[in-house]
Every structure is written in structure tokens, then in C-alpha cells.
């Protein structure tokens, strides 16, 4: 665990969320999602000043994502638009027991999140596991975390084989707050 910051908390709370922007494809229809985006959207709706660090493709889904995220009220200056990678997608399927399985597209924009310029005077930095599946985004996350003096929130959110013991240990050691889910 990291040493808790002694800085005073801002009012409203200042938050940066790092990770995947993707579309859940359900029944052939795209729905904007990704745990870091969903968390950021909920915090924004509760009055927090929230920025998202991610990447989308220079494609129809990427443009759609940026438009929807802007409408939510999130700060999008740290969402990169990449010309050489598609926006992330995950196809969800329900089995006969209504248990979901997920097929994540490989080598998407959120696997290549570049290091952005962000306000480092924040209260909370949120990150998860999935965006760490690629070395590039994992290194960006490390650099961001090392530049910040704030509380760190880690959403474990394990998906398929997109994690390792090293990623889990490093993330848990960096976190002040940890969220676990059953699925």
C-alpha cells in the first residue's frame, strides 16, 4: 500500500481515471463502456471534476465515444486519438444460464495509451487491470502513478488472461483503495 497523501482534499473532488474506452457489442449493437470510463462518468455525475486518460481509434467508434464522453461532462483532453489502431471492442455473449463471456479485440487503441499532460494536483487516481495487458499502456500507467501525490484506487476487474501475477502485485502495492468483483 502506498503512504496516504496528507494533502487536503479538493471540493469538488479532482479525479483522473486511466484505462480502456471500449464498446460492448451486445446482440450486434455497440454500447459505450469500459470500467475506467464508467467509474469516471459516475464520479462526474456526483459532482467530481473528472478527467479520463485513454485512447480511441480515428474511426467511427472513436468519434462516437468522444462525442458521448463530452456529453457526460468528462475532461477528454487526455484521450488520444490514434490513427493506426481501432477503438476497443468487446463482444459479450450470454450462455443458457445467462452467464456472460467476453471476446476482447486485440491490439486496440487503449493498448497504446500515450503519456499525456495532466493536472497532477488531484485527489484520486483510478486504474484497473485490463488496460495493463499491453506493455505500452502499462508503462504509461507506471509513469503517471510515479508523478502523482494522491490516493490510488485500483479496480481489479480480472478479465480472461489479461493479467499476470506481476501486474496484480504491482497494482495492489500501489493502491490505497481496492475494488474487487465476483465475476
pLDDT digits (tens, 9 = 90+) for 118-150: 989 999 999 999 999 999 999 999 999 999 999
Give how far the C-alpha of residue 20 lies from the chain's centroid of Cα atoms, to the nearest Å. 4
58 exposure class (CB count in 10 Å sphere: 0-12, 13-18, 19+): middle
User: Whose CA is closest to 126, among 2, 40, 9?
Assistant: 40
Nearest by Cα to 141 from 27, 9, 12, 36? 36
Taking the C-alpha atoms of residue 75 and residue 91, their distance in angstroms, rounded to an integer, is 27
Using CB atoms within 10 A of its CB, is residue 67 exposed (0-12), middle (13-18) or buried (19+)?
Answer: exposed
Q: How far is CA 109 from the centre of its chain?
A: 12
What is the structure's pLDDT at 113? 98
Residue 169 pLDDT > 70: yes
**Residues 18/127, Cβ–Cβ less than 8 Å:** yes
Calculate mean pLDDT across residues 92-121: 92
Confidence of residue 47 (pLDDT cuts 50, 70, 90): very high
**3-state class (DSSP) for residue 147:** coil
Q: Which residue has the higher pLDDT, 7 or 28?
A: 28
Let me know: does 156 contact 183? Beta carbons within 8 Å. no
Q: Please give the sequence-ordered ranges of beta strands (E in DSSP) within the chain, or none if there are none.
A: 14-18, 22-26, 29-33, 49-57, 79-82, 88-94, 100-104, 124-128, 151-155, 177-179
* 22-26/29-33 β-pairing: antiparallel
Residue 183 has pLDDT above 70, yes or no: no
Residue-level pLDDT at 8: 63
pLDDT at 162: 76
| 3-state DSSP assignment of residue 45 | helix
Quick one: average pLDDT of 7-35? 91
Per-residue pLDDT band at 1 (split at 50, 70, 90): very low
Considering the domain delimited by 14-179, tell me its CATH architecture. 3-Layer(aba) Sandwich (3.40)
Mean pLDDT taken over the chain: 91
Q: Does pLDDT of 5 surpass 60?
A: no
Does position 3 have pLDDT exceeding 70, yes or no? no
What is the side-by-side strand order in the sheet with 49-57?
79-82, 49-57, 14-18, 124-128, 151-155, 177-179
Question: Domain residues of the chain, as ranges?
Answer: 14-179
Comparison of pLDDT for 161 and 47, the residue scoring more: 47
Amino acid at each position: 500500500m502506498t503512504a496516504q497523501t496528507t494533502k487536503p482534499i479538493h471540493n469538488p473532488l479532482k479525479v483522473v481515471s486511466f484505462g480502456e474506452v471500449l464498446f460492448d457489442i451486445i446482440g450486434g449493437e455497440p454500447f459505450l463502456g469500459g470500467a475506467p470510463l464508467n467509474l469516471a462518468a459516475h464520479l462526474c455525475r456526483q459532482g467530481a471534476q473528472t478527467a479520463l486518460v485513454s485512447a480511441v481509434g480515428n474511426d467511427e467508434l472513436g468519434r462516437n465515444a468522444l462525442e458521448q464522453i463530452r456529453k457526460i461532462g468528462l475532461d477528454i483532453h487526455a484521450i488520444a486519438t490514434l490513427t493506426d489502431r481501432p477503438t476497443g471492442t468487446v463482444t459479450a455473449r450470454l450462455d443458457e444460464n445467462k452467464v456472460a463471456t467476453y471476446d476482447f479485440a486485440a491490439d486496440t487503441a487503449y493498448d497504446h495509451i500515450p503519456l499525456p499532460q495532466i493536472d497532477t494536483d488531484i485527489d484520486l487516481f483510478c486504474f484497473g487491470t485490463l488496460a495493463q495487458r499491453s506493455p505500452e499502456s502499462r508503462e504509461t500507467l507506471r509513469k503517471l502513478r510515479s508523478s502523482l501525490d494522491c490516493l490510488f484506487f485500483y479496480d481489479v476487474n480480472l478479465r480472461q488472461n489479461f493479467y499476470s501475477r506481476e501486474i496484480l502485485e504491482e497494482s495492489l502495492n500501489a493502491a490505497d483503495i481496492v475494488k474487487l468483483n465476483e465475476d
